A and B are shown apart, each in its own frame.
Chain A
Amino acid sequence: MRILVCVKRVPAPGAKIVLTPDAQDIDASLLGFAVSPHEECAVEEAVQIVEREGGSVTVMTLGPPEAEEQLRSAVAVGATSVVLLPSDIPDWDPVSTSTALVSAISRLEDEEAPFDLILFGNESADSGGYQVGIRVARSLGRPMVTGIKGIDTEGDSVAARRETPSGWEVYRLPLPAIVGVKEGINLPRYPTLKGRMAARRAPVATMEPAESASGQSKVMLMTPPDAGSAVEILGEGPETAPAIVDIMEGLGLV
């Protein structure tokens, strides 16, 4: 099976997110970068399918030249090839992002062969727009489901499972298809040392991203006020028991 996974380089912050002084971006000077957990799972899922059935996993990203780091990480865990659409423009909204991806996908498919399956993370970890995958599917005229926590390949179709409070919804999609994957679908592996060593030498294909008009623009970022939580240490040892009982009574638990 020929699979494409689209990922996005995002900062990996701690509990408190610091913005740049112009409030246009997250201050990432002391942060590492990653892809969102959903995307990590998408890469893992693709690698597992190919390990089972053969084929190839291509991982693609639109982002700054440094996003090569995320692509190499994907190679380290089993991606076959990687494609970078390098851009120094920070403001790629869902419309322009999906346009660039569609253009690149079309080129890759023209040059080699169509992708049987394209995986996205359910949403990006930073802007969380939930749009890019769907827009790409729409442009390519392929079926798509999102929120997927299980994929079974069935010849020329895939069964995609979505978890709901009342059970699993199962969608059967004819290939080629697109799936938005959610964290929990698998447990992504860590790279092995050998994997990392191979990743270091792996070629990174680059393609100029097609530019298009944006649908939306960023005014500024704001961090929501800290909801705050107070922690009171009630004490240590058996003498703390009455205080705990008081609290439980207050909560109506006893």
Chain B
Amino acid sequence: MPEPDIADTLVAFLNADGIPGKRPVHAWGIGASGVFVPSPVAGSFCIADHFQEKLPEGYPKKPQVVSVTVRFSNGSGSRQNDGAAGPHDGWSDVRGMATRFHLGDGSATDLIAMSLPEFFTPTPETFLDFARDALPRPFRRETPWQKLRDMLHLTLPLPDPYPGQVSRPDDGAMDYADRNRSAQLAVFQAASIGAPVSYVRATYHAVHTFFVIAPDGTRRGVRFIWQPIAGALNIDLRDPAQQDKVTRPYLQQELRDRLAKGPARFSLMMMIGETGDDFDDSTRPWPPHRVRVMMGTLTLDTVIDCEHLSFNPLLLTRGIEPSGDPILAVREWAYQKSSQVRGGVPCPFSQR
């Protein structure tokens, strides 16, 4: 089985500049707890426990409320390797939302999502190539003459460095995308994704396809999306009142302050794929014209410490199955290996 080998290589590569005991990517994060309430229709699309509005015989006869643990994170906030350690909350970056549903029988299932709607490459091997190319490189502000040249060529301007920023992955990622069509959409969107005003004001996509099993046995290829009920909103650095966010960490405190005042909510939307859609390639999002099903509502109310918790995108439960996406397959092993390396709470797969 090739996954463990390439997973080891990936984790070793991503850990090369990391800090022992910390995640190699998405290193800066904060936890929250709350509940997930399935929608009245969720159970007719998927037999998984957390999608049942009411539990089977023997369980309380009332609407089900599923306990959840969520970890929000910054994709590339640096802990040490670019001379400007920090979460860089105000920098344009992909954010993560890992959710664990604690099921009634004591087991759990995870849903791992990010604010980018697609992944960078279609296979683990190409992702390793991408990760090598996209290593942060030292950079300086473009000279005025280079900027003028960009304008006259009608090309995408390179962003100015944030205060204190001395390296960035964009140049290598752009170079890779110039040679690999499949990476272009993700690299383009990641370059302009911005920074949310809050972890709970971003939309998160679980970019891989999963198959959900309905009570009548129907098997559907689906993709999940967390939509913030408060709406998605980025900071605007043209607004003088917000400019300090580029240098001051704010996302974790904002979440503490927000949840101290009241809960934050997300809708879990499920897109149903169709024949002809690519189920095994997470570099290709599906068009927004697929049937959408509202699967439930997540309500977060408390900030918790879950930094040692290990999530895994293939921690699934009865009624949800993985697609053949090779990136999804390798993530099982990569997350497990990463958890071992940093000494996190053992991944549920570690007993294998």
A binds B: no
- Which residues of B line the A interface, CB within 8 A? none
